[in-house]
Amino acid sequence: MAKALVIGANGFIGSHLVDALVADGHDVSAFDRFSSGEPSYRSSGVELLRGEFLSRTDLDSAVRGKDHVFHFLSTTNPATAEADPTLDIRTNVAQTVELLESSAAAGVGHFYFASTGGAIYGPQGKESYGETDRALPVSPYGIGKLTIEHYLHYFRTMHGLDSTSLRISNPYGTRQHPHKKQGLIPIALRQVAMGETTVRLGDGSMVRDYIYVEDAVRMITAIVGRDRRHDLYNIGSGAGYSINEVFDSLRRVTGIDFPIEDRPAPPTFVDRVVLDVSRYTEEFGTPSIVDLDDGVRATYEELLISLRD
């Protein structure tokens, strides 16, 4: 099987991706800072590459001899990118271009990029968004992701670096850090578990496409190493849930009727983002999707264990 490198292997999606690639028989290398100590992935036989994403030397070394590179590391999230848009440009965008340069020079066979389906389409008032719809992001985070997608086209044209952009919707699940400023479900579950007031942005009608992380990873690995018709795929459940519906799920799972504090939604937040995944299903088949309550339950059970430790 292929030699695969996961950049951001100790992160939320990256750690699950490492496990899935190992299970599929790939020779996997895991690149990250690993500043928290033990790796988050569970698989054995993984080459651990401790390094800095902002170091070109570390990137050059990591990509050498690799067939597939999976770029699943981000130095910002939607909140931090909005607080300082230049940080996203200076770190995420600029350093990803360097990673692409390193990959092209090393003769990497295929580059997979974790883009965003939650922020890249922008406020267009549609029921769902397909890959042929215009990308009109209004947030620095989404703008940065779209910029990188364009650089993938450039490197394919100029250097022959084959690539696939994966527009992932709103992933949630185990190993998602509840203390970070990204991810409604883990943040709200932590607030519920700690007896805190749960924050709701807007009136609760905002709709997102939530996908359990293991479902998203299975969709991604089904593409790896296969002939494909496109270089861009939406990765999502294809279904939308409002914030209020998510909170109803949290109540059912936890059995707690938690207090809510309403705050204004940032102007860069869009009212509805649901992904049309028909391009994916027509080519790779219909994936199994975990029910929202079941996914929330698995996330909550892991959170309770971590809070006891």
Q: pLDDT tens, 105-151?
A: 999 999 999 999 989 999 998 999 999 999 999 999 999 999 999 99
Are the C-beta atoms of residues 268 and 82 closer than 8 Å to each other?
Answer: yes
Judge whether 113 and 71 are in contact, CB under 8 Å.
Answer: yes
Asked if the model's pLDDT at residue 181 lies above 80, the reply is no
- SS3 of residue 220 by DSSP: helix
Backbone angles phi, psi at 223, to 5 degrees: -85, -30
- 257 burial (CB, 10 Å; 0-12 / 13-18 / 19+) is exposed
pLDDT at 308 over 80: no
Unique residue bearing structure tokens 């170091």: 55
* pLDDT band at 306; cut points 50, 70, 90: confident
Q: Which of 156, 276, 284, 275 is nearest to 229 (CA)?
A: 284
Average pLDDT over residues 254-266: 93
Contact 210, 172 (CB under 8 A): yes
| β-strand partners of 260 | 198
DSSP 165: E
Res. 269 pLDDT band, cuts 50 70 90: confident
Cβ–Cβ under 8 Å, residues 174 and 301: no
User: What is the distance, to the nearest Å, from the Cα of residue 209 to the centroid of all Cα atoms in its chain?
Assistant: 13
Q: How far apart are CA 184 and CA 227, in angstroms?
A: 35
One DSSP character per residue, 15-38 reads HHHHHHHHHTT-EEEEEE--TTSS
What pLDDT does 266 receive?
86
CA dihedral 99, 35, 167, 199 (to 10 degrees): -140
pLDDT tens for residues 5-47?
Answer: 999 999 999 999 999 999 999 999 999 999 877 899 999 999 9
- Give the pLDDT score at 36: 77
The model's pTM: 0.96
pLDDT at 177: 79
Average pLDDT, the chain: 95
**309 confidence band (pLDDT: 50, 70, 90):** low
pLDDT > 90: percent of the chain? 90
Q: Under a CB-based contact definition with an 8 Å cutoff, are residues 70 and 19 in contact?
A: no
- Cα(300)–Cα(145) distance, rounded to whole angstroms? 30
Asked if residues 33 and 51 have their Cβ atoms less than 8 Å apart, the reply is yes
